[in-house]
Structure 1
Amino acid sequence: MQEEKQEFLFCVEQVKRAGAFSMDTDHFHETYEIYYLLAGERSYYINNLVYSLRKGDLIFINRNELHRTMARGTVRHERILINFRREFPQEMLGGNSLTLPFFSEQCLLLRPDAHEQGTIENLLFAMLKEQQEPRGHQSLYLQTLLIQFLIEMNRIRESAQAAIAPANDEKQRKVYEIIEYLQARYSGTVTLEELSERFFLSVPYLCRLFKQTTGFTIIEYLNTIRVQEAQRRLRESSDSVTRIAEDTGFDSIAHFGRVFKAIAKRSPLQYRKQNR
C-alpha cells in the first residue's frame, strides 16, 4: 500500500461495508490521509493511541504515522478517504505556503456539528464527482476543493471547545504502557515472556489484549516501528544496511530484508535510492 500511495498526488474514495471489517496489514505511507466516517462506528489506532469514532467524525493523519482502523459497535460503516501529497494543494498557491497547525501534528480528530458536517460532505462529494467524471482543468479544480476542505477543517478546529481525547479505559492504559515499552526497547530482543512478566499478564491474554486494542500483533507492531526507524536512517544517514539492520533489532540481514520489503514494498537499497 505504501508504494501505491506514492504514485499519485491526490486520491479520494468512498467505501461502504455491510459486515465487520478490520484492516489486516501494517499501514503507514508518505501521503497525508483524511478519514471521514459517513455512517457507523470505528476504532482508529494511530501510532500509540486509540480513538473511538462515530458518524460525522473527521480525522487527519500525518505522513508516516502508523495507523489502522478496526470494527467497533455496529458492523456496518461507510467512509470517505483522501490521500494527498503536500505539493498537490501547494501547486496552485505559487510562492505562498499553505501553513495549517495540524500539518505538524501526529493526528487531528474533529467532531463537526450538523452544519459543519453538511459543509464537509458537500466538499467531499464534489471531490468524488470531479474525480469520477474527468473534465477540463480537473487537477486545478480538485486542488481548490482540497484547499477549501483543509481551511474548513482548521476553522472547525479553532471553534472546538476542547480536543477529543483518545480512549483511556484500564485495558487501553495497559496497552499504552506496553507500546511505550516497545518503542523504548525495539532495538534489542523483546520476547513475549519478558512482556508477560513485566506487565503481569499471561502470554495468551497479553497477545489478545494488544491485538484487540491496536489491531496489530506484538510482532507486527515491533517489526513496523523497526522498519520506520530503518527508513529514517536510510534517508538521513550514510550507515550501511547491515549496520542499520543490527541497530533496529533484526537478528540477520536476510530477516531485515524480508521484513523491510514486506512492509515498504521495496528493498532497503531501493528505498534509499528513491529517498536520498
Structure 2
Amino acid sequence: MITTPRFAIEQALRTVPFSMSADHVHQAHEIYYLLAGERYYYINQRVYALQKGDLIWISKHDFHRTSNKGSGSHERILINFDESFVATPMPVAPSSDHNPLLLPEKSFLLRPSAEEQRELEHLFRQMLDEYHQEHAYRQMYLQSLLLQLLIRIRRIQSAAPDTIAPERSEKQQRVYSIIEYLHAHYAEKLSLDQLAGHFFISSTYLCRIFKQTTGFTLVEYLQDVRVQQARAYLRETNWKVTSIAEKTGFDSIAHFGRVFKQYTGHTPLQYRKKHQKEQGNGR
C-alpha cells in the first residue's frame, strides 16, 4: 500500500477493557471520534467523559491518554496529521468569532448532534476508504477530505452554546489538586502518608479516588510524571543520566533506568541517542 506522509487514519474496535499505560504527546494534531461505547480521555491533567458520537481535538504538544469507562467495549476513529499536510494555506489573519483559525490552538471536546454525527461519520468513511486504496490523486483527495472535516468541526464548535467541560465532581476536583501537587513536587521524595496528610484524607481513600479518577495508581502516575520530565531533560540538556535521575526524584540510577525503560521501551541513553539521530536527520 502507498504510504501517505504526515497523515494517518485508523478505525479500531476493542471488545475488552483497555487503558493506555502512560500519557503521551505528538508533534502532530490528533482527532479522536468515539463510534461506540464510553471512554475517559485525559488531556493535560483533566479528565473528560466521552460518550458515543463525541469528538476530541488534541492540539500538538498536549499530553493525553484514554482509559476504560463502562463495559470496556468501544470503537473509535483516530486521525493524526501534520499541518503541512493540509494543502490549502491556513488563515494567517488574527482569528475572530466569525473567522476562527482553521486549526484550533487548544484541545477541546465536541458533542455533535445526531445529524452532525452522520455528516462527520460520512467524511470518516470516505477518508478510511481512500486511505486504504491506491487511487490516482489519493493524497490530494485525502487533503480535500481533511479540509472538509476541519471546516465541519469548526462550524460545529462555533454553533455549540458551551464548551463541554472536564469532569468536576468534588472527588475529581480533589484528585486534580493531588495531580497538580505531583507535577509541582515530583523531584522531591514523596510518600503516600505525606500526601494523605497534606490533603487531610486517609491514604486508603486517596489511593481509591485517585485510581477511580485517573485509571492509574498513585505510584504509576508519579512515575509517569517523572519519566516525562526525564525525557525532556534527555532531549533538551547534556546533563548526565545520574543527574537527571536525581532531578526527577528517583532514589537510584538503577531504579530510574528500570522505570524509564518500562515506560518508553528504551534506556535513558538509548532514548537520548535516538532523539539526537532524529534531530540530525531532520536538519
Q: Does 1:27 align with 2:30?
A: no
Q: Does 1:80 align with 2:77?
A: yes
Q: Return the offset for 1:80.
A: 1.1
Residue 182 to residue 102, structure 1, CA distance change in 2 (3 Å): farther
- For 1:156, the equivalent position in structure 2 comes to 156
Percent identity between the two aligned chains? 47
Which one of the candidate residues 40, 45, 54 is aligned to 1:48?
45
Partners of 2:91 and 2:102 within 8 A in 1: no
Greater shift in the superposed pair: 61-70 or 156-165: 61-70
The one-letter code sitting in structure 1 at the alignment partner of 2:230 is A
Count of equivalent residues? 264
In structure 2, how many angstroms separate the alpha carbons of the residues matched to 1:127 and 1:11?
Answer: 10
Residue 204 to residue 62, structure 1, CA distance change in 2 (3 Å): same
What secondary structure does 1:104 align onto?
coil
Partners of 1:51 and 1:166 within 8 A in 2: yes
- For 1:132, the equivalent position in structure 2 comes to 132
Partners of 2:47 and 2:166 within 8 A in 1: yes
Q: Does 1:248 align with 2:227?
A: no
What secondary structure does 1:161 align onto?
coil
Residue 193 to residue 274, structure 1, CA distance change in 2 (3 Å): farther
- In the TM superposition, what are the counterparts of 1:105-254 in structure 2 within 5 Å? 105=106, 107-254=107-254
In structure 2, how many angstroms separate the alpha carbons of the residues matched to 1:235 and 1:221?
Answer: 21
In structure 1, how many angstroms separate the alpha carbons of the residues matched to 2:191 and 2:212?
Answer: 19
Deviations 1:45-104 (A, max 9, x none): 223111111121100123343333233345442211112333333xx34xx346747643
Which one of the candidate residues 44, 57, 60 is aligned to 2:57?
60
Residue 169 to residue 126, structure 1, CA distance change in 2 (3 Å): same
Residue 79 to residue 45, structure 1, CA distance change in 2 (3 Å): same
Partners of 1:42 and 1:72 within 8 A in 2: yes
**Structure 2 unpaired stretches of 5+:** 93-100
Q: Return the offset for 1:166.
A: 0.9
In structure 2, how many angstroms separate the alpha carbons of the residues matched to 1:263 and 1:32?
Answer: 22
User: Structure 2-normalised TM-score?
Assistant: 0.82
Residue 197 to residue 242, structure 1, CA distance change in 2 (3 Å): same
Residue 102 to residue 193, structure 1, CA distance change in 2 (3 Å): farther
Q: Does 1:268 align with 2:271?
A: yes
Partners of 1:10 and 1:84 within 8 A in 2: yes
Q: Return the offset for 1:213.
A: 0.7
Partners of 2:20 and 2:67 within 8 A in 1: no
What secondary structure does 2:67 align onto?
strand
Q: Return the offset for 1:178.
A: 0.6
- For 2:105, the equivalent position in structure 1 comes to 104
> Which protein has the larger Cα radius of gyration, Structure 1 or Structure 2?
2
Q: Return the offset for 1:15.
A: 2.0
User: Structure 1-normalised TM-score?
Assistant: 0.84
Partners of 2:18 and 2:72 within 8 A in 1: no
Residue 233 to residue 101, structure 1, CA distance change in 2 (3 Å): farther
Residue 271 to residue 63, structure 1, CA distance change in 2 (3 Å): farther
Q: Return the offset for 1:117.
A: 1.5
